[in-house]
């Protein structure tokens, strides 16, 4: 599942391609979207902006008309899940994925934006989307300009029996973190991933949150010399040295040489990587091991 940094880069790309342009055609395989488009058409509306919220992409369409009357601003919310992606093409350009994987098409005179394999999509008035249970339950977005780290720590602490690894993936506690940054931030903080939240002080939780935030923000900062969509938590751009532990099960720890451990755990099993020597065990619940 794409993490918050990937979603933010996707939103930036879509914003640059679509913002300020008039929609000339909308298509979707989802009746729930085409029904809204039929009642309050997207055609003729201006794409106002595209933004990321945690792991969601929000596309804002300006006011339109329906039945001769003004229609409110609409938002298209999409979530990639495991296999979804947005592509942009010039009119007439060949798609890189087969048409049967298409879920949504947004066309302007200059750009066609295609959502492939996106399983979770919602189109509604802006105020309804903002109040929806999906966004309303979401915790502070680690990549948002107004990220509230104190609130994120409070929400994580309110899940005392969870492992810290699972709590970081709980989007209602803190939004945007996935398996990669979960493993990388916990390694950098020296916290064992199976440590129960209640075994960590508020200061330790704040350290983990701050490290995750800094790692993710470093990976969405735009630099002319930075490779597109590269991800590094070590500060290195060498493809073999970008990450501390993620994807390195059995390989030597970059700090101490201990073999990196790998395990699946959690109510919804997710892969986690860690170093048993560098990451301190703090009150592990034996039931989680």
pLDDT in tens, 114-127: 999 999 999 999 99
Strands 47-53 and 56-61, by their bridges, are antiparallel
Residue 235 predicted with pLDDT over 80:
yes
Where is the domain boundary, 136, 166, 201?
136
What Cα–Cα distance (Å) separates residue 117 from each residue in 23, 104, 139, 171, 222?
22, 9, 26, 21, 28
Q: Clarify whether residues 207 and 267 are in a common domain.
A: yes
Outline where the chain has alpha helix (H). Answer: 4-18, 31-39, 126-131, 133-136, 149-157, 164-169, 179-189, 202-218
CA nearest 117: which of 135, 98, 89, 95?
A: 98
How long a stretch of residues is the chain? Answer: 289
Q: Clarify whether residues 215 and 175 are in a common domain.
A: yes
Q: Clarify whether residues 131 and 164 are in a common domain.
A: no
CA nearest 184: which of 151, 219, 149?
A: 219
* Phi, psi of 25, deg, nearest 5: -165, 140
Provide the domain limits for residue 89.
4-136
Where is the domain boundary, 89, 110, 136?
136
* Phi, psi of 251, deg, nearest 5: -80, 160
CATH number at 246 reads 1.10.8.50
* Each residue's pLDDT tens digit, 162-216: 999 999 999 999 999 999 999 999 999 999 999 999 999 999 999 999 999 999 9
Q: Clarify whether residues 159 and 277 are in a common domain.
A: yes
* Catalytic center residues: 2-3, 55, 270
Question: What are the structure tokens assigned to 12, written together?
Answer: 């930036």
Cα–Cα distance, 243 to 82 (Å, whole number): 21
Residue 172 lies inside a defined structural domain of this protein: yes
Give how many domains the chain has, as a whole number: 2
Residue 59 lies inside a defined structural domain of this protein: yes
Read off the pLDDT of each residue in 98-103 and give the average, rounded to a whole number: 97
Residue 234 lies inside a defined structural domain of this protein: yes
Q: How confident is the model at residue 266 (pLDDT cuts 50, 70, 90)?
A: confident
Q: How confident is the model at residue 283 (pLDDT cuts 50, 70, 90)?
A: low
């Amino acid at each position: 599942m794409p993490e918050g940094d990937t979603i933010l880069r996707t939103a930036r790309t879509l914003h640059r391609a679509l913002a300020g342009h008039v929609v000339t055609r909308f298509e979707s395989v989802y009746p729930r979207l085409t029904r809204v488009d039929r009642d309050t058409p997207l055609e003729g509306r201006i794409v106002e902006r595209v933004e990321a919220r945690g792991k969601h992409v929000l596309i804002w369409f300006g006011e339109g008309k329906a039945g001769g009357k003004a229609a409110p601003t609409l938002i298209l919310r999409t979530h990639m899940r495991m296999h979804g992606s947005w592509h942009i093409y010039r009119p007439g350009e060949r798609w890189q994925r087969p048409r049967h994987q298409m879920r949504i098409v947004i066309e302007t005179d200059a750009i066609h934006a295609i959502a492939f394999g996106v399983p979770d999509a919602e189109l509604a008035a802006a105020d309804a989307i903002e109040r929806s249970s999906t966004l309303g339950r979401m915790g502070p977005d680690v990549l948002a300009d107004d990220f509230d780290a104190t609130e994120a720590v409070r929400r994580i602490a309110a899940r005392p029996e969870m492992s810290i690894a699972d709590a970081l993936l709980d989007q209602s506690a803190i939004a945007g973190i996935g398996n990669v940054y979960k493993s990388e931030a916990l390694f950098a903080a020296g916290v064992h991933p199976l440590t129960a939240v209640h075994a960590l002080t508020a200061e330790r939780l704040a350290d983990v949150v701050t490290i995750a935030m800094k790692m993710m923000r470093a990976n969405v900062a735009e630099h002319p010399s930075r490779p597109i969509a590269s991800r590094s938590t070590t500060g290195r751009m060498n493809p073999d040295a970008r990450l501390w532990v993620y994807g390195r099960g059995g390989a030597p720890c970059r700090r101490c040489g201990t073999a990196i451990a790998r395990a699946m755990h959690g109510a919804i099993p997710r892969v986690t990587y860690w170093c048993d020597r560098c990451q301190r065990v703090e009150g592990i619940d034996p039931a989680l091991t």
